[in-house]
Structure 1
């Protein structure tokens, strides 16, 4: 028997057809107006036939003034509802669910394409790179702005429900805004949003409650949460487990575990020696979390062989196997795992030899593979890193030019 073929019943009664999920990856495939494109939708049509029980989209931004990538989809009103419905219907006729991951980047908004960076506290990214080239100090969010962002999460969620996505995932990991509020390193506020863990977790709790208020009890809501930030003075493993308890009590339907930030990108390949044989980056942590919650757990990062995936679910260490980058290279991966027709899914990106460029290949090389899928092409393990880099550079330049000529837009539409 292959335990990965088993159904998963979520707390609200929704059933996932098996234990394989495509975790969120940045697709960077919107058009210039940040709407879903045929290429993006076609990529999900390919994945809908992959055999996975759950597909989670890449970042959907809740605010056009806070964007992580030049071609992120933005949902802040109903202007692109028709395209969103086409995206949601990409899984039509399959047993696969499509959840929309929604996000605000906070200080991790890409500086080159965002005029203002906003964050819980005025603490810049320590490292330079594609997210923040000048270590610019972000502006501190006011109480009013915090409440507006919480409302925006709910607003985006209800629009995506209307578009008929199967569920919502809050991005609460990898150093984005929710993660920034949780971390004592990035949140040094002295009001009700900072200080104690109760205060620092208030933002994510209020975001969850607002979304639940808008979408109702029967609509799945999940979260991607850091096991730890892997930064001195940051969000710790012990605090993460307390947040798991809090969100479980609130009634969240699925908790996906990851870890790291853009300053300490552990989610992109670093593992403790003790976990290498078991592949997954955060397996030690999730075994501890399994003891404190009955909420379904999904673990993403490092899974590459079918046998290890089966063992993880069979031993009840976790409920859902989250896989990201291999989905961009092996589009039929779910079926391959469930049928055991392929036993490993190793991916190796191509590099330029230039350290400053190769760091971003962990994301943009896979974005290019997803684009090939959406264009009806086969994925290409030999895809040139230099061609990927120059195409990405052009996207940034193009977005910057568009931003200079951008006219003011009406304030976001609320419920």
Structure 2
């Protein structure tokens, strides 16, 4: 239950009975570390073993796909069945070795599938393309395919529980498939999966419903939800509040608030200066849904940097859990530092492309910078996974080369099952 006078160091009890040791979570960032078999490996275990000792109350993994034919990027872990049980169990244990609970973030990219996988046709609620250079027009899903994807989320959650994870997070933010169903811009269906806000949210609610039914009562089922997608005519805060109310009725254990997409990357650190000055990007919205959420804890990720800002958000009751992402890349012990020092302030590295007047004529600089910073942080995650320290001197050219190499390695290769 939520506590209006809680502090960062206080534990948080989720409705399923799981106790988080404090109110700071390491939020999800896509690691892109799996090999060609899409199984977890020792690099992921090494990374989460370090985070597990970093003082966090909760670790949330990056994108774990539920369909190996539909990937956001080549290095995604995929869970379709229990073939990788032992590797998954080692991943969960790595976090638990430091005493930290861990959730697996389950996701389907939809039309945000890897754009450099040439010849692959992504799927989506409707045949509406992503407003980004090089994005393929998706194929609209059939009703049978939609049901199959819902079952994939539930099946993956069962595998995660058997492997020893503490919960799952359904990714319904940042422009991925669940978000596409929620968006009136991406979902133009007029059947039972679209046409009005109630039917557009049905896909998410069915995933939660079947997942909750498939796992044990003590296993956490959480959701990452956009406050809005920050696009004219898109998913609004009012619609998001209605989704929160519906999720509460389905018995979710935690709702994490974020926002934006790769078309409008409010979540990537490219937010306006006025937004960054408020420290927490989505805190005002989170506070507005607390009454709707009732006893379901609310987490907010995006922009938190100081002990003062984090503790104030929790103590005021505006949120119950604070998520930090990019600062945990350059400082894996960020939570311990914040909890130990009330004057502590975290740093998040941010880089931008040069030649801005020229690039600005042919591309959206906000999109480019957002992708650049995501890739820079992925590079640092890979260093941590090898037992190395972050490289703060890494610039845009090396980062871009690594991004193309990482995402493009399947572009001209043989494709199976597509």
Fold match (TM-score > 0.5): yes
1:34 is aligned to 38
Q: Does 1:117 align with 2:125?
A: no
Q: Is residue 181–residue 194 contact of structure 1 (8 Å, CA) maintained in 2?
A: yes
Deviates more, 1:94-103 or 1:49-58: 94-103
Q: Is residue 255–residue 297 contact of structure 1 (8 Å, CA) maintained in 2?
A: yes
Cα deviation, residue 386, structure 1? 2.2
Q: Is residue 48–residue 96 contact of structure 1 (8 Å, CA) maintained in 2?
A: yes
In 2, Cα distance between the equivalents of 1:290 and 1:47?
29
Structure 1: gaps of 5 or more residues: 410-415
In 1, Cα distance between the equivalents of 2:317 and 2:416?
53
Cα deviation, residue 342, structure 1? 6.0
1:298 is aligned to 299
Q: Does 1:390 align with 2:401?
A: yes
| Secondary structure at the counterpart of residue 372 of structure 1 | helix
1:90 is aligned to 94
| Secondary structure at the counterpart of residue 293 of structure 2 | coil
**Residues 357-376 of structure 1: pairs in structure 2 closer than 5 A:** 358-376=369-387
**Residues 238-253 of structure 1: pairs in structure 2 closer than 5 A:** 238-253=238-253
In 2, Cα distance between the equivalents of 1:401 and 1:270?
31
Q: Is residue 349–residue 381 contact of structure 1 (8 Å, CA) maintained in 2?
A: no
Q: Does 1:126 align with 2:131?
A: yes
| Secondary structure at the counterpart of residue 127 of structure 1 | coil
Change (3 A) 1:401 1:104: same
In 1, Cα distance between the equivalents of 2:115 and 2:86?
30
| Secondary structure at the counterpart of residue 68 of structure 2 | coil
Change (3 A) 1:49 1:99: same
| Secondary structure at the counterpart of residue 105 of structure 2 | strand
In 2, Cα distance between the equivalents of 1:4 and 1:367?
27
| Secondary structure at the counterpart of residue 343 of structure 1 | coil
In 2, Cα distance between the equivalents of 1:342 and 1:37?
37
Q: Is residue 53–residue 99 contact of structure 2 (8 Å, CA) maintained in 1?
A: no
Structure 2: gaps of 5 or more residues: none
| Secondary structure at the counterpart of residue 299 of structure 2 | strand
The counterpart of 2:76, out of the listed 51, 56, 72, is: 72
1:335 is aligned to 336
1:50 is aligned to 54
| Secondary structure at the counterpart of residue 106 of structure 2 | strand
In 2, Cα distance between the equivalents of 1:372 and 1:378?
6
RMSD: 1.9
1:162 is aligned to 162
In 2, Cα distance between the equivalents of 1:391 and 1:93?
31
Change (3 A) 1:72 1:342: farther
Q: Is residue 265–residue 271 contact of structure 2 (8 Å, CA) maintained in 1?
A: no
What is the CA deviation profile of residues 285-318 of structure 1, one whole-angstrom value per residue up to 9, with x for unaligned ones?
Answer: 1111112222100000000111110111111110
Q: Is residue 30–residue 73 contact of structure 1 (8 Å, CA) maintained in 2?
A: yes
| Secondary structure at the counterpart of residue 409 of structure 2 | helix
Q: Does 1:17 align with 2:28?
A: no
1:193 is aligned to 193
Size of the aligned set, in residue pairs, is: 402
Cα deviation, residue 350, structure 1? 3.7
| Secondary structure at the counterpart of residue 62 of structure 2 | coil
In 1, Cα distance between the equivalents of 2:162 and 2:71?
23
Deviates more, 1:44-53 or 1:290-299: 290-299
**Residues 90-239 of structure 1: pairs in structure 2 closer than 5 A:** 90-113=94-117, 115-128=120-133, 133=134, 135-239=135-239
Cα deviation, residue 346, structure 1? 1.9
| Secondary structure at the counterpart of residue 30 of structure 2 | coil
Cα deviation, residue 232, structure 1? 1.1
What TM-score do the two structures reach when normalised by structure 1?
0.92
Change (3 A) 1:396 1:353: same
In 1, Cα distance between the equivalents of 2:126 and 2:218?
35
Cα deviation, residue 33, structure 1? 1.4
Q: Is residue 256–residue 300 contact of structure 1 (8 Å, CA) maintained in 2?
A: yes
What TM-score do the two structures reach when normalised by structure 2?
0.92
In 2, Cα distance between the equivalents of 1:407 and 1:246?
38
